[in-house]
Amino acid sequence: MAVKPAVLKKWIPAVLAPAVIAAFAVGASFSANAQVELEPKTPQQVLQMIAGSSVVDFSGTARATLDLGIPQLPDPGSSGMMQQPGSPGSEGDTDTDGAPETAGANLLGMLSALSGTHEARVYVDGPEKARIQVMDGMDEQNFIRNGSSLWHYDSAENTAVHLVLPKVPRHAGPPRHTMQPPTPGVVADRLIEAMGPNTEMSVQDDTRVAGRDAYILELVPRSDGSLIAKVSIGVDAATGAPLEVVVDAVGQEDPAIAVGFTTFTPETPAADLFEFTPPPGAEVTEHKIAKKFLDHKPDHGPRAKAKANGHKIPKPFLEHKTGAKDKNAKPGPKNPAGHPATINGTGWDTVVVVPAKEVPKDLANNELLNQLATPVEGGKLLHTSLLNILVTDDGRMVIGAVTVDRLQAAANNQ
Amino acid sequence: MSSSGLLANEVALLFRRRRTWAMLLALGAVPVLIAVAVRLTSGPPTGRGPAFLDRVAGNGLFVAITGLLVCIPLFLPLTIAVVSGDTIAGEAGTGTLRYLLTAPVSRPRLLLVKFAVAALFALAAAAMVALCGLGIGALLFPTGPVTLLSGTTISAPAAVLRVGLVALYVAVSLLGLTMLGLFISTLTDVPVGAMAATAVLAVTAQILGQLPQLDWLHPWLFTQHWLGFADLLRDPIRWSEFGQNALLQGGYLLVFGALAYGRFASKDVLS
């Protein structure tokens, strides 16, 4: 039956409206990924841009996505992490040495809880003032530094933790060793430090990150045993500030780690953002840091604090993780004397072997570990897409961002 | 009849109905029930129950927020489904649509007026929950400066303003569903069918939003930002969620408004 043209005409808006929206959506994504033409740069020049970047005042929204290929667990990490503020001693060791062995299964539970996407607003005004707001559904975690005063506020529990840093002469080196929020900048710094001649570097100069023209520095390990396929660092073309770090794992389509800004403004944030008074009714805990403790490890305080309270926070983990990598790259200075772990291989293929007596006794019987580990030749294997941990039958622990074969070979060589 | 006259007429018709007031009162009862329950018991332990519930005992202004939070997944969509599903199908079902159209009112204008009335109800519903929450909260609990999610404390008047913003956010969130209901209402002469279909869609969209396998679909679901009003309780306020939500609802208005026009303008009105 023929339909009258007059009737057909009535349906024109119904056809047009989705078309307009589709065009709008495509246009928006096109302008977000629009081809930009930047002056070509070598990897070295981009590294210099990062190093020479003078952006110390900025605000932005950061997004972290973690996909390590481990199963989602029914929040086992929270109970484990809850106990840790009660035992600051052991917690301190774990944090400063960056050694996963003591964290063990707790770390794994934490990783599982961290998997997924987290969003935070970041405000930084110089090295002394910073605020990170981690948005977590209807709740929010706040980390505020204003000079020597450090605050953590948890809206879900309505608790606040206050830390006062004693004044110490700033001999510890560059400011990033003090409480600098682990922005993509810090993550990038650590990764670059760990790089040796065993990395293939290239630069992409036609992308945008956080809506800004950016260079992408790509690092590809020259190793066939590494679990890391590629590390990409997005660098703001205008300021040289690192805006994004993406770590791709071998055989995984989505990035294993993606930390980056979705918005970025290199301007000084409002000063009152860094003023924090605990709200009335909040439970406030005061912490003091022993002076001698601080002299030895200037970066311990804030990190321990962030870790003890922030098991939902992706960033302490990232710092922790890259810290570990850092250690692998430079075993000498970072590895205190008397720490008997041995290091095999260099660069991306580094494997750490922890002797049996250094592995905590309860680790072998840990329920969580037993659930997640798969039996392999010579022991039990804990596999994540970026890190393999082999607990051998004789109790040693072999850790590396390499394939199982390499771990087994390293274990057998001992 | 002039367009504004028609609008006034339709608004009066809606708010003269006993059904409309029954729904608004039921919505208003939700925060009252919450407040009374918290008042009679010692209150939930910190971190349990719906977000903000543990704060109610300390500050009555949170009753309004908790009430909106509890109402948005089901109660508010149900009432919207009833009002928007009834718009055209109700008139068609009782045989009054024909008479309405004999007045010199063009069909698109009638659709527009019907939508405006339904949207006004969405605003009234959100405002009802917020106002009843503020009232009962002030009556049963101490009120005063309010702690935002970021730990900043703001004065009570500023907090009331934030509650108003949250109510506005909720009302805007419901606009897409309102237009969806209007479109479904043009498809049938049985108002109950249109109401049920709209309510089912609201629930279905929320279920789809829970399935991680469908994450490519999530940004297009009209329910996607329904719980995003927490961003208005941060310091500084994060407007991006509000903007994205408004954009999404606007898209639904455009698409289903055009569909409703296509259907209604080409429909043979026999009854």
State percent of chain A over pLDDT 90: 14
Residues of chain B contacting residue A149, judged by C-beta atoms under 8 Å apart: none
For the ranges A294-308, A330-344, A373-387, B128-142, which has the lowest average pLDDT?
A294-308
Binary contact (A21, B265; C-beta < 8 A): no
User: In a 3-state reduction of DSSP, which class is residue B217?
Assistant: coil
Binary contact (B51, A137; C-beta < 8 A): yes
A23 touches chain B (CB under 8 A): no
Positive or negative torsion for Cα A251, A252, A253, A259? negative
The region that residue B95 occupies, defined by phi over 0 for left and psi between -120 and 50 for alpha, beta otherwise, is: left
B15 touches chain A (CB under 8 A): no
Question: In the prediction, which pLDDT does A362 show?
Answer: 67
Q: Which of A66-70, A185-189, A265-269, A371-375 has the highest mean pLDDT?
A: A265-269
Q: Which of B166, B139, B184 is nearest to B229 (CA)?
A: B166
pTM, entire model: 0.79
pLDDT tens string A254-267: 899 999 999 999 88
Identify whether the C-beta of residue A255 lies closer than 8 Å to the C-beta of residue A248: yes
Mean pLDDT, range B188-195, rounded to an integer: 94
For the ranges A238-242, A304-308, B58-62, B74-78, which has the lowest average pLDDT?
A304-308
DSSP state at residue B153: E
Give the number of other Cβ atoms within 10 Å of residue B217's Cβ.
Answer: 13
Identify whether the C-beta of residue B10 lies closer than 8 Å to the C-beta of residue B90: no
**What CATH fold (topology level) applies to the domain A331-413?**
TATA-Binding Protein (3.30.310)
Residue B259 reports pLDDT greater than 60? yes
B230 touches chain A (CB under 8 A): yes
Higher pLDDT, B94 or A190: B94
The band of A174, judged by pLDDT with boundaries at 50, 70 and 90, is very low
Helix axes A88-97, A100-114, angle to 10 degrees: 90
pLDDT tens string A311-367: 333 333 333 333 333 333 333 334 444 456 778 777 788 888 888 777 776 666 667
Mean pLDDT, range A36-54, rounded to an integer: 78
Domain over A44-329 is classified CATH 2.50.20.10: yes
Q: Is A36 exposed, middle or buried (0-12, 13-18, 19+ CB in 10 A)?
A: middle
Q: Is B243 exposed, middle or buried (0-12, 13-18, 19+ CB in 10 A)?
A: exposed
Give the number of other Cβ atoms within 10 Å of residue A62's Cβ.
Answer: 26
Q: Compute the 3-state secondary structure of chain B and give helix, strand, coil in percent, each to the nearest 5.
A: 75, 0, 25
Binary contact (B234, A21; C-beta < 8 A): no
**Maximum alpha-carbon separation in chain A:** 91
- CA–CA dist A385, A258 (Å, integer): 13
Mean pLDDT, range B180-187, rounded to an integer: 96
Distance from CA of B149 to the nearest CA of A (A): 5
For chain A, the structural domain boundaries read: 44-329, 331-413
Distance from CA of A11 to the nearest CA of B (A): 4
Phi, psi dihedrals of residue A140, rounded to the nearest 5°: -155, 140
pLDDT tens string B21-40: 999 999 999 999 999 998 88
Question: In the prediction, which pLDDT does B164 show?
Answer: 96
- CA–CA dist A155, A159 (Å, integer): 7
Residues 6+ apart with CB under 8 A from B43: B54, B56, B57
Closest residue in A to B250 (Cα–Cα): A21
Residue A297 reports pLDDT greater than 80? no
Question: In the prediction, which pLDDT does A71 show?
Answer: 64
Higher pLDDT, A414 or A213: A213
B39 touches chain A (CB under 8 A): no
Give the number of other Cβ atoms within 10 Å of residue B106's Cβ.
Answer: 11
The band of A158, judged by pLDDT with boundaries at 50, 70 and 90, is confident
Mean pLDDT, range A12-25, rounded to an integer: 89
pLDDT tens string B141-160: 988 888 899 989 999 999 99
Distance from CA of B16 to the nearest CA of A (A): 33
Q: Where are the beta strands (DSSP E) in B82-219?
A: 146-147, 153-154
User: In a 3-state reduction of DSSP, which class is residue B147?
Assistant: strand
B151 touches chain A (CB under 8 A): yes
B230, B254, B255 ranked by CB distance to A137: nearest:
B230
Binary contact (A142, B52; C-beta < 8 A): no
A273 touches chain B (CB under 8 A): yes
Identify whether the C-beta of residue B182 lies closer than 8 Å to the C-beta of residue B111: yes
Across chain B, how many H-helices and E-strands are there?
10, 2
ipTM for the predicted complex comes to 0.83
DSSP state at residue B55: G
pLDDT tens string A74-124: 443 333 333 333 333 333 333 333 333 344 556 666 666 677 788 999 999
Tokens 């922030």, residue located: A310
Question: In the prediction, which pLDDT does A193 show?
Answer: 66
Positive or negative torsion for Cα A161, A131, B154, A311? negative
Q: Cα-Cα-Cα-Cα dihedral of B73, B78, B79, B83, to 10°?
A: 130
A20 touches chain B (CB under 8 A): yes
Residue A179 reports pLDDT greater than 60? no
A71 touches chain B (CB under 8 A): no
Residue A269 reports pLDDT greater than 70? yes
Helix axes B75-94, B191-210, angle to 10 degrees: 150
Binary contact (A11, B254; C-beta < 8 A): no
pLDDT tens string B59-95: 889 999 999 999 999 999 999 999 999 999 999 988 8
User: In a 3-state reduction of DSSP, which class is residue B212?
Assistant: helix
Mean pLDDT, range A202-220, rounded to an integer: 87
pLDDT tens string B207-235: 999 998 898 999 999 999 999 999 999 98
Which residues pair with residue B36 across a beta bridge? none
| Cα→Cα distances A385→A251, A388, B159, Å | 8, 8, 46
Q: What is the pLDDT of chain B when averaged over all its residues?
A: 91
- CA–CA dist A307, A315 (Å, integer): 9
Residue B270 reports pLDDT greater than 70? no
Positive or negative torsion for Cα B87, B88, B90, B96? positive
| Cα→Cα distances B257→A8, A11, B220, B234, Å | 16, 11, 17, 34
Distance from CA of B20 to the nearest CA of A (A): 31
User: In a 3-state reduction of DSSP, which class is residue B135?
Assistant: helix
Question: In the prediction, which pLDDT does A181 show?
Answer: 47
Residue A49 reports pLDDT greater than 70? yes
